[in-house]
Amino acid sequence: MSEDSLLDDALVRLDEAAAHLSIDPDVIEKLKFARETTKVRLMIRMDDGSRKSFIAWRCRYDDTRGPTKGGIRFHPDANVEEVETLAFWMTFKCAVMNLPYGGGKGAVQVDPRQLSKAELERLSRAYIQAFARTVGPDRDIPAPDVYTNSMIMGWMADEYAQIVGQAEPAVITGKPIALGGSLGRGDATARGGYYLVRHLAGELGLGETLRVAVQGFGNAGQHIARLLAADGHKVVAVSDSEGGVYSAAGLHVDMLIEAKTQGRSVVSTVGQGGHEALAGDALVGVDCDLLVPSALENMIHGKNAGGVKAKLVLELANGPVTPSGDRILADKGVVVLPDILANAGGVTVSYFEWVQNKQGYYWTEQEIHDRLQAIMEREGRAVWNVSKEKDVSMRTAAYVHALGRLAEAIEAHGTQSFFTS
């Protein structure tokens, strides 16, 4: 199987899981295609008075288990195949966690760093205008993804409220707290992965103090570094799109987060506090116990997986390991905690946000943490058990676990719905 096609690579995992369950082949066929993907052109006015067009998509991949759920990505390389693949992963992620959602995803092909704040706001509002009939609190619920954040979700929630003529906070998650956002959503992706590693540490044979390498230092990367360092683990290497830093004695995580907050690369800390320069592509092969890919897809592949020295990979990014990368890691005995489980803390707290919006009653941060921990441990344990019972990787086990739930729901809808939707 080639590594060029992201969706084909993703579907390999579906076939691998299906081989371990006796499922109607029509169910698998249904899950191989997106239910609907819409492409639009957004045209906005730039600050200099000119107009500019951007291509945007929203994919509702599968809504068998509930309204479709998934983030909106702003990225110059965004494309329809990536959107559909990310929506496919959301379908399985929500099923792994038993959240009452299907999977969706959206994107705008744009480099948001090239836009002023006012232009970014106009683009975000234009997205909701274009997809006002696609999204909805019980239909399709967006959230942040790569290069989108709570400020953008706030503008989108406001635009939707203006269109429908009333506040409708449950239409989008990851909002600012002032607009009905949830406490604990900011670090939820990393925190979920952190709870998972802590819960399975004994089974995974992890030592007391882990040496950790984090690839990508955005929302997920910064928070996982902070959470692990606070527990006494050593973050020895970190990278972002401009390069990496290394320190065998442990990097100063606060200094790295401060640099990012000021809009600088982690590379700007080289020479301070014992931070040494590291080529960005060398991070995957750094000597460490835990490798945390927290950037984009296809970062660990057939050509660099052989160099991985970590015993454990925690996928906070979506799709960071290709199928051939997976096979090499498995042969080396490296355990991979797969994206659809490992980074599901984000969508789980999005679910809490949606529940709080619907009930109009808000939980404390501690309640959010406790509920997230309980779900991560429950589903992490269930996936671990499947992997032992069937003697398969944690990735295949997560797909088996999710596919069982999806198949049950597809069949429960009835065959007439099955063939017409």
356 touching ligand GLU, by CB under 6 A:
no
d(CA 56, CA 73): 10
The whole-angstrom separation of Cα 22 and Cα 152 is 43
Only one of the segments 193-201, 229-237, 341-349, 397-405 lies at the binding site for ligand GLU (rule: CB under 6 A); that segment is 341-349
30, 69, 93, 105: the active-site residue: 105
Least Å distance between CB 152 and ligand GLU? 12
d(CA 256, CA 226) in angstroms, rounded, equals 10
- x-or-dash pattern for ligand GLU, window 7-26, by CB under 6 A? --------------------
| Segment contacting ligand GLU by CB under 6 A, of 21-29, 67-75, 106-114, 398-406 | 67-75
Q: Least distance (Å) from ligand GLU to the CB of residue 141?
A: 7
What is the nearest approach in angstroms of ligand GLU to the Cβ of residue 207? 29
First and final C-alpha spacing in the chain: 30
Cβ–Cβ under 8 Å, residues 52 and 123: no
User: Is 311 considered catalytic here?
Assistant: no
Of the candidates 68, 182, 265, 318, which one interacts with ligand GLU according to CB under 6 A?
318
Whether the CB-CB separation of 173 and 353 falls below 8 Å is answered with: yes
User: Which among 159-167, 236-244, 285-293, 344-352 is the span making contact with ligand GLU, rule CB under 6 A?
Assistant: 344-352
Q: Which residue is nearest to ligand GLU (CB)?
A: 71
* CA–CA distance, 152 with 343 (Å, rounded to integer): 21
Q: Is 346 near ligand GLU (CB under 6 A)?
A: yes
What count of other Cβ atoms lies within 10 Å of the Cβ of residue 164?
Answer: 13
Contacts 24+ apart (CB under 8 A), 259-267: 260/217, 260/222, 265/240, 265/241, 266/217, 266/238, 266/239, 266/240, 266/242, 267/240, 267/242, 267/243
Q: Which of 347, 392, 397, 403 binds ligand GLU (CB under 6 A)?
A: 347
Q: Which stretch binds ligand GLU (CB under 6 A): 260-268, 345-353, 361-369, 384-392?
A: 345-353
Rule CB under 6 A: choose which of 134, 173, 247, 294 binds ligand GLU: 173
Closest separation in Å from C-beta 101 to ligand GLU:
8
Count, residues in the chain? 421
CB 174 within 8 Å of CB 188: no
Q: Collapse the DSSP code of 79 into the 3-class scheme (helix H, G, I; strand E, B; otherwise coil) and give the result.
A: coil
Nearest distance, CB of residue 163 and ligand GLU, angstroms: 21
Interacting residue ranges for ligand GLU, rule: CB under 6 A: 69-71, 93, 143, 145, 173, 318, 343, 346-347, 350
